[in-house]
Amino acid sequence: MISPFIQALYYSMTNWTGFSPNMQFIGLDNFVRLFNDSTFMQAMGNNILLAIVVPLITIVIALVFASMITVGGASHGQVRGLRGSSFYRVVSFFPYVIPAIVIAILWSMIYTPSGLLNGVLGVFGIDTNQFAWLGEQSTAMGATIFVIVWSMVGFYMILFVAAIKGIPAETLEAARIDGAGRFRTVTSILLPQIRDNVQTAYIYLGIMALDAFVYMAGLNSTGGPSNSTLVMSQYLFRTAFEKGQFGLATAMGVVLAVITLLFAALVIGVFRLIGGKDEGGRA
């Protein structure tokens, strides 16, 4: 299980092309080459943008929905959820079970000039003039981010609903008796209590966004207009299996792994920083 990873580390320091028997050890040259490669740096920038924006939007939407479902009900008596919320739960979980590549292909069709999006906007009287959402540099990234958020919100909503349900009912009741409204209940009771879940969700989503290969492959397999949606994993794949520069490609893999680890560490650090004061209040 672990051996491919160790092998990867070794390959990353060679100039191996995969099929030639001679493999030279060239130390860190591959990494130097990568950091001088403007395309790779752009891909890395895109990845970092994704890793910051995607989790943020997804988690905010998922949290809002989850709190609506759990505390949106009647404000008297017990704290109750919204009526008929199971319907929303089932529906919004849908995208999670669809293959990511199919989601990407589906949305690439929705975004085409004569696709669903322009059609819907046309109904509301907005003439988009056959706008190609993925073909313009200004909208390609935004459109891509929306697709990823669309596919992820449901899962994290369910996750947060489950976490909120795990809060003891007495705590919520006590807050209600103390006169806390819904908004106050959410901000001062729910959020601190499910902080750990939010942190985990942030890390998972970030890792997913640092990869993002599947979505990109389906939406814009060539990297988008002037590489505006190119991500590292795509570049890695191209370098390895199209150009055959396996040494260089594994070096990219190592960079990607290091960034992933740094990201996870950063998120944990930030959460500890902002959550440190109510450490004792957790159930």
Partner 1 sequence: MSTETRAAVTIDPKAERRRGSRPDPVTRTTKATTGDKVVGGISHGVLAIWSLIVILPMVWTLIGSFKTTTEIFKSPFGLPAQWNFDNYISAWVGNSFGRMFLNTVIVVGVALVLVMVLGAMCAYVLARFSVPGSRVIYYLMLAGLTFPVFLAIVPLFFILQGMGLLNTLPGLILTYVAFALPFTVFFLFSFFKSLPYEIQEAAYVDGASEWRTFFQVMLPMAKPGMAAVAIMNFLGLWNQFLLPISLNTSQENYVLSQGMASYASSAGYALDFGEMFAAVMITIIPVLIVYILFQRQLQGSVSQGTSK
Q: Which of residues 169-198 bind partner 1 (CB under 8 A)?
A: 170-171, 174, 177-179, 182, 197
DSSP SS3 for 25: strand
Choose, by CB under 8 A, the member of 101, 132, 167, 268 that binds partner 1. Answer: 101
Q: Which of residues 37-96 bind partner 1 (CB under 8 A)?
A: 64-65, 68-69, 72-76, 82-85, 87-95
Choose, by CB under 8 A, the member of 22, 36, 97, 274 that binds partner 1. Answer: 97
CA distances from 156 to 41, 55, 102, 103, 121 (A): 31, 10, 20, 17, 28
Under the binding rule (CB under 8 A), the answer on residue 25 touching partner 1 is no
Decide whether 230 or 236 has the Cβ nearer to partner 1. 236
Window contacting partner 1 (CB under 8 A); options: 33-41, 51-59, 116-124, 130-138: 116-124
Task: Check: CB of residue 30 under 8 Å from CB of residue 265.
Answer: no
Does the CA dihedral 231-233-238-240 come out positive or negative? positive
Window contacting partner 1 (CB under 8 A); options: 28-36, 48-56, 118-126, 269-277: 118-126
Window contacting partner 1 (CB under 8 A); options: 22-30, 46-54, 137-145, 166-174: 166-174
Q: How open is the CA angle 213-221-30, to the nearest 5 degrees?
A: 60
CB of 44 to partner 1, least distance (A): 14
Window contacting partner 1 (CB under 8 A); options: 26-34, 49-57, 132-140, 234-242: 234-242
Choose, by CB under 8 A, the member of 28, 32, 60, 116 that binds partner 1. Answer: 116
Choose, by CB under 8 A, the member of 23, 37, 48, 115 that binds partner 1. Answer: 115
Q: Which of residues 255-274 bind partner 1 (CB under 8 A)?
A: 256-257, 260
How long a stretch of residues is the chain?
283
Under the binding rule (CB under 8 A), the answer on residue 111 touching partner 1 is no
Choose, by CB under 8 A, the member of 13, 50, 143, 153 that binds partner 1. Answer: 153
How many CB atoms lie under 10 A from the CB of residue 122?
Answer: 11
From the centroid of its chain, how far is CA 74?
34
CB of 133 to partner 1, least distance (A): 14
CB of 273 to partner 1, least distance (A): 23
Distance CA 171, CA 176 (A): 9
Residue entry with tokens 């794949």: 237
Decide whether 52 or 90 has the Cβ nearer to partner 1. 90
Distance CA 118, CA 231 (A): 27
- Residue type (1 letter), 89: R
* Residue 17 CB partners (closer than 8 Å, separation 6+): 244, 245, 246, 247
Choose, by CB under 8 A, the member of 57, 106, 132, 268 that binds partner 1. Answer: 106
CA distances from 212 to 71, 225, 256 (A): 33, 17, 12
CA distances from 60 to 56, 113, 146, 185, 203 (A): 6, 30, 14, 16, 14
Decide whether 69 or 141 has the Cβ nearer to partner 1. 69
